[in-house]
Amino acid sequence: MKKLKKLVAIQPVSLLPETREKIKEYCEEAVFYDTVPESDAEITERIGDADGIFVSYTHKIGENVLKDCGNVRYIGMCCSLYSEASSNVDLAYARARGIKVTGIRDYGDAGVAEYVTANLIRRLGGDDGFLPLFGEISEITGVRVGILGMGASAKAVAAGLAAFHADIRYYSRSRKPELEEEKGYRYQELPDLLRECDVICSCLSKNVVLLGEEEFQIMGPGKVLFNTALSPCFEEEAIKKWLDQENTWYFCDTLMGLGDESLLKNNHAVCLKRSSGMTRQAVERLNQKVLDNLGNYCMEQKAL
């Protein structure tokens, strides 16, 4: 195994004390910052001469940072890495510089599914102090749920709601015939899904926007929109107009997914203000995956 000379966690990255100790086995020096950097200049200063860094999803690590930190050879993303377009690390620049970037997946999906299910139950029953969505206390049974995207978290949400006998439909870039056959989910084009479903749940990748004014007009009132992505899945002015209608509801977990914070003034826009996926169990899974990625990288370097 070839150790890193210096590894720096440039921000809080949900590493447990025991994980921090194990990380020291893979590097000669480890530095863990528990405060949030306020600028790219501060990020660059924190990295300094380190050849390895840990980052989370809240700060962009772009060319302007990496070009001033020429020793960096490894970037461990302590967060999901789904695609180059949605990543906060400039993967193209890192690849050109020979920098290894690792990310993790499938660690917080159960918490997301529980968040959607719990809030939908409250909305259907009027347990949040407002009139129930359908005017009378209802079960999830038979509720038409349209899911945008069908990645890991979307599958968890679909499975959770299907367990309560929801009618699951979905829209994604590619169809999932195995889910349609095995689970009975139904693929619909976006306009049809928005028109027919009572509940829309966006589990899209970061920076993917599908809902504009036309889409919200198709949706109409009497519906619930969930967004568990790390960015708004909609145009901000369009959702404000939609929420002006009677019996329209928007739920999201993070402020990043909320969009314009003025939405917090609307009683029908509810934001948890934290990631619903970051449960105790999710943090444990995150730590193990981050540690495995680092260990694999160090072993690969020995083989070179």
Return the percentage of the chain with pLDDT > 70, whole number.
Answer: 99
As a whole number of angstroms, the distance between CA 59 and CA 9 comes to: 12
Strand order of the β-sheet with 269-271 is: 186-187, 167-171, 144-148, 199-202, 223-227, 248-252, 269-271
* Whether 119 and 33 share a structural domain: no
- 3-class DSSP state for residue 105? coil
**Residue whose entry in the numeric block shows the structure tokens 């009975």:** 184
Q: Is the domain of 129 the same as that of 250?
A: yes
C-beta separation of 171 from 193 below 8 A: yes
Domain that holds residue 146: 109-271
H or E element at residue 169: strand 167-171
What pLDDT sits at residue 230? 87
pLDDT mean over 145-149: 97
Is the pLDDT at 303 greater than 80? The verdict is no
The pLDDT mean for the chain works out to: 95
Q: Cα separation of 64 and 156, whole Å?
A: 37
Residue 69 belongs to domain with CATH number? 3.40.50.720
Whether pLDDT at 255 is above 70:
yes
Same domain, 265 and 292: no
> In a 3-state reduction of DSSP, which class is residue 110?
helix
Q: Based on the fold, state whether residues 178 and 242 are members of the same structural domain.
A: yes
Q: What residues pair up with 251 in beta bridges, in sequence order?
A: 226, 270
pLDDT reading at 302 higher than 80: no
Please check whether residues 79 and 37 belong to one and the same domain.
Answer: yes
- The mean pLDDT value for 249-259 works out to 95
304 pLDDT tier (thresholds 50, 70, 90)? low
Q: Could you tell me which of 57, 56, 78, 53 has the C-alpha nearest to residue 66? A: 53
Same domain, 129 and 242: yes
State whether 150 and 33 are in the same domain. Answer: no
Average pLDDT over residues 63-87: 91
Residue 127 reports pLDDT greater than 70:
yes
The percentage of residues in the chain with a pLDDT greater than 90, rounded to a whole number, is 92
The position carrying tokens 């890991």 is 152
Q: Are 13 and 33 in contact (CB under 8 A)?
A: no
**Is the same domain home to 97 and 134?**
no
User: Would you state the pLDDT for residue 58?
Assistant: 86
DSSP-derived letter for residue 202 is E
Which sign, positive or negative, has the C-alpha torsion 289, 292, 89, 35? positive
Residue 139 shares a structural domain with residue 217: yes
Do 101 and 115 share a domain, yes or no?
Answer: no
- Mark whether 130 and 58 lie in a shared domain: no
Note the pTM of the prediction, 2 decimals: 0.86
Q: What mean pLDDT do residues 150-169 have? A: 96
pLDDT above 80 for 47: yes
User: What DSSP letter does each residue of 2-52 carry, written as one string?
Assistant: --EEEEEE-S-----HHHHHHHGGGEEEEEE--S---SHHHHHHHHTT-SE
In whole angstroms, give the CA distance from residue 134 to residue 122.
12
Do 18 and 52 lie in one domain? The reply is yes
Name the residue with higher pLDDT: 82 or 136: 136
pLDDT exceeds 70 at position 138: yes
Number of structural domains in the chain: 2
157-175: average pLDDT? 97
